[in-house]
A = this chain, B = another copy of it.
Amino acid sequence: MLATAITKLLNIDYPIIQGGMAWVARAGLAAAVSQAGGLGVIGAGNMPAAELREEVLRAKGLTDRPLGVNVMLMSPHAEAVLQTVVDLGVPVVTTGAGNPGPYVQTLKQHGVKLLPVVSSVALGKRLARLGADALIAEGWEAGGHIGDISTLALVPQLVDAVEIPVIAAGGIADARGVVAALALGAAGVQMGTRFICSSECTVHEAYKQAVVRAADRDAVVTGYTTGHPVRSLRNRFTRQLGELEAGGASLKALSEFGAGRLAQAARDGDITYGSVMAGQSAGLVRRIMPVQEIIEEIITGVRSLTRHLEGQLCQN
């Protein structure tokens, strides 16, 4: 156990939430994270409700610990997916890419905890007022769709602005990042990139190896000109997209050029022309490990690092 407001809220052992990455976070990964004491989260992405239903049932077959589902609110299936979540008694929903406001009452009625991902203080305050149970404060250094404030700057400002627990996301991949997040006032962390490189993650092996090989400056941003920036590993796709943007391509042309690229990388293993979404913590991820070892390594590290800091800083 490592108790915080988040472990109590979600009834889990460790305040580690696995990012609900579309095309990447499937039942096997989510179940392994929950089984190891964190919160595993299935990424619904653009899945139809029937497919999400199968994933949830498969995960429930692998663990009886609490699970979550990430609902991408811009998906055409969002409402049906949320109904499935409620029907199957999934206890936690994380949301991104939209406003979860319309679903708050239904989720509350069924006792589902709502943890929206937010990237600014203003949005966090609004969703706290709407009834969110906790907020996932995601910094610019995260993978996938990103906001414009770094985790280090965002977390303490959000902690000061709301009464509910805040979870830090973006740039965290090891015990050092977890202790840093707790020091900033977070009650837990969400990690995505680190869990891509787990044995249980079913993403294509080439994708995992690309993350392992990545150095500090390899997780770059495209799409600033579209207003929907995305972080992924530098490759021919990001270079071509960057050239299109610099050349003033229309939103429609950029959107068409990027369509299907995440699946191309995650499912098919095309790490040259696919979108290998990953955060800047990729440079900290050096090998593929079983989920339980990742979590044990982090929790052991959190304890020894915290004792070390206390010993170093409070002796005199």
Instruction: Give the interface of A toward B (CB within 8 A).
Output: 1-4, 120-122, 139-141, 148-154, 156-157, 160, 170-172, 174, 176-177, 179-185, 215-217, 220, 224, 279-281, 283-284, 302-303, 305-307, 309-310, 312-314, 316
A309/B312 in contact, CB under 8 A: no
The complex places the Cα of A152 from the Cα of B149 at a distance, in Å, of 12
In the complex, how many angstroms separate the beta carbon of A316 from the nearest chain B beta carbon? 5
**Are B184 and A153 in touch, CB under 8 angstroms?**
no
- Residues of B near A217 (CB, < 8 A) are 120-122, 148-149
Residues of B contacting A185 with CB < 8 Å? 176
Are B121 and A216 interface neighbours, CB within 8 A? yes
Q: Please name the 10 residue pairs, one residue from A and one from B, whose CB atoms are nearest each other, closest first.
A: A153-B280, A152-B171, A310-B310, A180-B180, A179-B183, A141-B150, A153-B171, A180-B183, A150-B150, A121-B216
Are the CB atoms of A150 and B176 closer together than 8 Å?
Answer: no
B2 A313 Cβ-Cβ under 8 A: yes
- Write the nearest CB–CB distance from A304 to chain B, whole angstroms: 9
Given that A150-B171, A280-B149, A283-B157 are contacting pairs, would A183 and B216 also be in contact in the complex, using a CB cutoff of 8 Å? no
The one of B160, B176, B215, B309 that contacts A156, using a Cβ cutoff of 8 Å: B176
Which residues of B have CB within 8 Å of A160? 284
Chain B's closest residue to A180 (CB) is B180
Known: A216-B120, A283-B157, A316-B3. Contact between A309 and B152, CB under 8 A?
no
Distance of A147 Cα from B272 Cα, bound (Å): 25
**What's the Cα separation between A99 and B63 when bound, in Å?**
55
Beta-carbon contact of B310 and A306 below 8 Å:
yes
- A224: nearest residue on chain B (CB-CB)? B224
Asked if B309 and A303 make an inter-chain contact with CB atoms under 8 angstroms apart, the answer reads: no
Q: Which of A150, A156, A279, A281 counts the most B-chain CB atoms under 10 A from its CB?
A: A150
Given contacts A303-B313, A309-B310, contact A152 B180 (CB under 8 A): yes
Question: Of B140, B157, B220, which one neighbours A140 at CB under 8 angstroms?
Answer: B140
| Cross-chain contact B4 with A312 (CB below 8 angstroms) | yes
A307 CB contacts on chain B under 8 angstroms? 310, 314
List the B side residues contacting A302 at CB < 8 Å. Answer: 313
The listed residue (B139, B176, B183, B305) touching A176 by CB distance below 8 A is B183
